[in-house]
Amino acid sequence: MMRRCELPARDLRLLDPLFVYPSTVLGRERAIVVNLEQIRCVITADEVLLLNSLDSYVLQYAAELQRRLLQRAEGDELPFEFRALELALEAACSFLDAQAAELEIEAYPLLDELTSKISTLNLERVRRLKSRLVALTRRVQKVRDEIEQLMDDDGDMAEMYLTEKKMRMESSVFGDQSLLGYNSAGAAGTSVSAPVSPVSSPTESRKLEKAFSLCRSRHDSTKSSDNTTTEHIQELEMLLEAYFVVIDSTLNKLTSLKEYIDDTEDFINIQLDNVRNQLIQFELLLTTATFVVAIFGVVAGIFGMNFETSVFKIENAFQWVLVITSVVGVFIFCSFLWFFKYKRLMPL
């Protein structure tokens, strides 16, 4: 393949199924190296060399390419390599868009369920979903960047016109052979022993005019081929732009899904913060109540000491102690509540 397509080993290494490389489209002198998701192939001016040819996805690509080549519409002058490249881009964009749609169908109900019921199982499912989303977004972003890089570089797009370069090479070889034939014929027609005349003969002048006309025709054909290449660059740019819009739409879907996940995470964090604040407020109330109850413990400790006092001799003294202690405790508790409300520590 390296000799046949004039490709370096590092380009073929991109197609190795044992290694995982990001999506890449490389234009070379006689081939286009394509690595787009499941499609890994080398496109020449006449054929497509596919890797993993037994894979179902690759078989669908080959069958669809054959069908489109057989049903070629009239007026459609796209060369073979662009048809193969277009189908590879279409297959990759469709595959990524289908995965994005499947991820959307799975994500939105799961996120809605998580907002209504926060559990460890739902959080684990969302974590796995987000990991898949990040990986898919990275792949879509790489395909988008590759297409955008090709659109921004006219030199790379010009390298992909394999049919045009092949025709130009064949015409150049044919012109060189014709010019060599004219020169050999002129050399054979000239006598070695004849004296050199200062004035050229009519036959030699006609041969020289033919050689000059051939050079001019080759120069004109080169200029026309350059103009054709410029037109083809516009055609290839339009083709790439169409699939750039498709892959950009897929990327926007994934971006919207990621934003929805981020919004869901923010909403869950707000809910958890609210629950945490409620627990802190409840703990604050319990601490205040514990302080009030501790007042009763202090009074009981004082009157529980082993000493004599006249308070024990007063009738209904125990009831008065309980009433006074309770009133003081309620007053202190209400004072704390008013302080919490004044400082806006809890909504009361």
Residue 31 CB coordination number (10 Å) = 26
According to the model, what pLDDT value does residue 260 have?
A: 94
Between 137 and 28, the higher pLDDT residue: 137
- DSSP string over 292-338: HHHHHHHHHHHHTSS---GGGGSTTHHHHHHHHHHHHHHHHHHHHHH
As a whole number of angstroms, the distance between CA 299 and CA 338 comes to: 25
Whole-number pLDDT of residue 209:
53
Q: Structural domain boundaries of the chain? A: 275-343
Name which residue leads in pLDDT, 180 or 303.
303
In this prediction, residues 8-22 reach a mean pLDDT of: 82
pLDDT tens column, 314-347: 777 788 888 888 899 899 989 988 988 888 877 7
Question: What amino acid is encoded at 125 in this protein?
Answer: R
DSSP 213: H
User: What is the number of other CB atoms lying within 10 angstroms of the CB of residue 42?
Assistant: 24
Q: What percent of the chain has pLDDT over 70?
A: 81
Which DSSP helix (H) or strand (E) runs through 173?
helix 162-189
Taking the CA of residue 214 as centre, how many other CA atoms within 13 Å lie in the half-sphere pointing to its CB?
19
Please report which confidence band the pLDDT of residue 228 belongs to, taking 50, 70 and 90 as the band edges.
low
